[in-house]
């Protein structure tokens, strides 16, 4: 399905075209891809997954440099946890799906931790600054295969995964599903 709609640009209020297209995306299933470009340079794109699978948790214990290359498919409803680092990345309303590897996921998290650590340092919070620096050091060691960690991805929509022979897939309980954020508005009709 292909569709074009018009709407006002949120930056300059000019009329801009939005193209809507459904596509089959490997590992994600059917998706609606929305893209729009305004004459002022503003761009908007979004991908909305139209399929839903069984809610699942994937767990990978990273113990070697080879594990860093494991493919990670994170849908916009996936929560990522790295318990050894005290990291939990939950989906929000602007959450985006992506395909990466463990290294890419850790680098995404690294950017956030660096920002939080700089902010704590500027605020004079020595304890949070030291904690942030320790997380960054552990991440650096993990990327060299010198620090073991566990990467967990939980998805109530079942569209996320870790693709590795070492990854363990397990079902989520109803209580676990209820405790997860989806990053989107769900209608139960």
pLDDT of residue 67: 95
Domain annotation covers residue 125: yes
Closest CA to 76 of 169, 158, 2: 158
CATH number (domain holding residue 15): 2.20.25
CATH number (domain holding residue 136): 2.60.120.1040
Phi, psi dihedrals of residue 63, rounded to the nearest 5° = -120, -5
Please tell me whether residues 83 and 42 are part of one structural domain. no
Please tell me whether residues 40 and 75 are part of one structural domain. no
Please tell me whether residues 78 and 133 are part of one structural domain. yes
Report the C-alpha gap between 156 and 52 in whole angstroms. 9
Mean pLDDT of 46-75: 89
Please tell me whether residues 62 and 118 are part of one structural domain. yes
Phi, psi dihedrals of residue 24, rounded to the nearest 5° = -90, 120
17-48 pLDDT, tens per residue? 999 999 887 666 787 888 899 999 998 877 77
Question: How much of the chain is in helix, strand and coil states, percent to nearest 5?
Answer: 30, 35, 35
Cβ atoms 137, 149 nearer than 8 A: no
pTM: 0.76
Report the C-alpha gap between 54 and 58 in whole angstroms. 12
Cβ atoms 171, 96 nearer than 8 A: no
Structural domain span for residue 90: 56-178
Please tell me whether residues 110 and 166 are part of one structural domain. yes
Please tell me whether residues 83 and 130 are part of one structural domain. yes
Mean pLDDT of 92-111: 88
Domain annotation covers residue 146: yes
Share of the chain above pLDDT 90, in %: 67
Residue 186, pLDDT above cutoff 50: no
Strand ranges (DSSP E) for the chain? 2-8, 15-25, 29-37, 43-49, 56-62, 71-74, 79-82, 87-89, 98-101, 149-155, 161-163, 168-171
Please tell me whether residues 170 and 143 are part of one structural domain. yes
Domain annotation covers residue 35: yes
Please tell me whether residues 102 and 43 are part of one structural domain. no
Please tell me whether residues 29 and 110 are part of one structural domain. no
Domain annotation covers residue 189: no
pLDDT of residue 27: 65
Please tell me whether residues 73 and 105 are part of one structural domain. yes
122-177 pLDDT, tens per residue? 999 999 999 999 999 999 999 999 999 999 999 998 888 999 999 999 999 999 98
Please tell me whether residues 142 and 71 are part of one structural domain. yes
Torsion over CA of 8, 10, 11 and 13, rounded to 10 degrees?
20
Please tell me whether residues 16 and 85 are part of one structural domain. no
Report the C-alpha gap between 40 and 45 in whole angstroms. 16
Domains: count for the chain: 2
Domain annotation covers residue 187: no
123-138 pLDDT, tens per residue? 999 999 999 999 999 9
Domain annotation covers residue 83: yes
Report the C-alpha gap between 108 and 47 in whole angstroms. 19
């Amino acid at each position: 399905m292909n569709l074009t709609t018009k709407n006002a640009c949120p930056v300059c209020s000019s009329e801009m075209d939005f193209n809507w297209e459904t596509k089959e995306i490997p590992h994600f299933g059917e998706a609606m891809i929305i893209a729009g470009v305004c004459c002022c340079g503003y761009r908007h794109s979004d991908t909305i997954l139209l399929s839903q699978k069984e809610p699942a948790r994937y767990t990978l214990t990273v113990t070697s440099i080879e594990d860093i290359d494991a493919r990670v498919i994170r849908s916009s409803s996936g929560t990522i946890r790295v318990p050894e680092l005290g990291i939990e990345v939950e989906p929000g309303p602007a959450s985006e799906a992506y395909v990466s590897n463990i290294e890419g996921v850790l680098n995404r998290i690294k950017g956030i931790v660096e920002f939080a650590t700089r902010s704590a340092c500027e605020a004079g919070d020595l304890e949070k600054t030291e904690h942030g620096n320790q997380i960054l050091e552990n991440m650096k060691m993990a990327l060299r295969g010198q620090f073991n960690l566990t990467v967990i991805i939980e998805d109530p929509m079942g569209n996320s995964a870790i693709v590795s022979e070492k990854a363990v897939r397990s079902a989520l309980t109803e209580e676990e599903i209820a405790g997860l954020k989806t990053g989107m508005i769900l209608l139960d009709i």
